[in-house]
Amino acid sequence: MSIGMYGWTPGEMNNQSGRSFVVTGANSGLGAVTARVLAEAGASVILACRNTDRGEAVADRIRKSQPEAQCEVRSLDLADLSSVYAFTNECPQIDVLINNAGVMAVPKTRTKDGFEMQLGTNHLGHFALTGLLLDRITDRVVTVSSGMHLIGRVDLKDLNWERRKYRRWPAYAQSKLANLLFTYELQRRFDAAGSGMRAVAAHPGYASTGLQSHTGTIQDRLMRVTNKLLAQSAEGGALPSLYAATAPSLPGGSYVGPAGRFEQRGSPVLVRSNKRSRDRTLAKGLWEESEALTGVAYRIPADTGSTQN
């Protein structure tokens, strides 16, 4: 399963000069590391951030360490479809979209469009973003999932927790399972259309990022402690996303995660997702519901002449 990835580091990445990336949620954590490493490798990077002040701080640090880095910050709030439309209206052609942004185990809240916050941000916002950018992506779409997909259940009759009693961790797990269902269905649609584009997924293992500190409960304190004791750095957690976004020969439909025990840390390798994530009937149903909720209907380009590097 490793296809030669054991021990892979960003130093083995091909030069990314001439290639362009959008990284969502690049104002902190895994997204900030991903944007920095890509820029250091010569790529042009758009940091798509809800908090643009923090995004500018990340971009400034990148420019200070790499004066020739090509990076810019643009506003994107995945919890607001009008923001998604505004971003895509101004986005140029890119090679790779990295759907990285996410929220985890937050209290019951809703997006501007009325979606449950975790599903709306982690899945529906990225679903809309990808669909609206599809005619301007030349190579691949990378979507960041989680090992939490293993306990996820997607309820097509109540995706937005309107009838069920809201539970923050099952809601998070549902959104992360949705990320994988989306990735595999998108790849099937690329294949059916004869497109050379690729949809791939990644997960970071257990990485210390700001994602774990917004539950609004005592769990925030507990996770800060476990982060210090058990978690790998954000730099380690970003490795699967970086590999998924840049490896030339990575097949569409791949899922990349850490090589270590329980996939918690380590160099990127191909990993397996659960049977539920590959349920084609469930994926088709989720896709149809996602189109209905977001109003974004996909048009898959037949042959983009996709670039590989």
The 3-state DSSP composition of the chain as helix, strand, coil percent (nearest 5) reads: 45, 15, 40
What tens digit of pLDDT does each residue of 227-254 get? 454 445 778 899 999 999 999 999 999 9
Contact (Cβ atoms closer than 8 angstroms) between residue 26 and residue 48: yes
Query: Which amino acid type is present at position 58?
Result: V
Alpha carbon 65 to chain centroid, angstroms: 25
Structural domain contains residue 1: no
Question: Structurally, how many domains does the chain consist of?
Answer: 1
More confident residue, 220 or 100: 100
Structural domain contains residue 219: yes
pTM of the model: 0.90
Q: What is the pLDDT, as a whole number, of residue 266?
A: 87
Q: What is the pLDDT, as a whole number, of residue 3?
A: 40
Structural domain contains residue 146: yes
Check which CATH number belongs to the domain holding 188 and give it: 3.40.50.720
Q: What is the pLDDT, as a whole number, of residue 206?
A: 74
What tens digit of pLDDT does each residue of 180-220 get? 999 999 999 999 999 999 999 999 987 556 554 445 655 55
Residue 224 confidence (pLDDT) above 80: no
Query: Which amino acid type is present at position 113?
Result: D
Determine the average pLDDT of the residues in 37-44.
97
Q: What is the pLDDT, as a whole number, of residue 5?
A: 53
Residue 4 confidence (pLDDT) above 70: no
Q: What is the pLDDT, as a whole number, of residue 1?
A: 34
Alpha helices (H) along 136-274: 168-193, 219-230, 234-237, 239-246
Contact (Cβ atoms closer than 8 angstroms) between residue 264 and residue 51: no
Q: What is the pLDDT, as a whole number, of residue 308?
A: 56
Mean pLDDT lowest for which of 1-10, 91-100, 224-233, 273-282? 224-233
Mean pLDDT lowest for which of 170-184, 219-233, 286-300? 219-233
Residue 53 belongs to domain spanning: 15-294
Structural domain contains residue 72: yes
- Beta-carbon contacts of 174 under 8 Å, excluding residues fewer than 6 positions away, are 118, 119, 152, 153, 154, 155, 159
Catalytic residue annotation? 172
Indicate the average pLDDT of the chain: 90
Report residue 231: phi and psi, to 5°.
Answer: -80, 150
Sheet holding 20-24, edge to edge: 70-75, 44-49, 20-24, 94-99, 137-144, 198-202, 255-258, 268-270
Q: What is the band of 296 on the pLDDT scale with cuts at 50, 70, 90?
A: very high
Q: Which CB contacts under 8 angstroms, 24+ apart, belong to 5-10?
A: 5/243, 5/247, 5/256, 5/259, 5/267, 5/268, 5/269, 5/270, 6/259, 6/267, 6/269, 7/267, 8/239, 8/243, 8/267, 8/268, 9/239, 9/267, 10/37, 10/40, 10/41, 10/239, 10/242
Q: What percent of the chain has pLDDT over 90?
A: 80
What tens digit of pLDDT does each residue of 51-81 get? 999 999 999 999 999 999 999 999 999 999 9
Q: What is the pLDDT, as a whole number, of residue 155?
A: 98
Residue 32 confidence (pLDDT) above 90: yes
Structural domain contains residue 279: yes
Structural domain contains residue 5: no
Structural domain contains residue 63: yes
Determine the average pLDDT of the residues in 114-143.
98
Q: What is the pLDDT, as a whole number, of residue 233?
A: 74
Structural domain contains residue 7: no
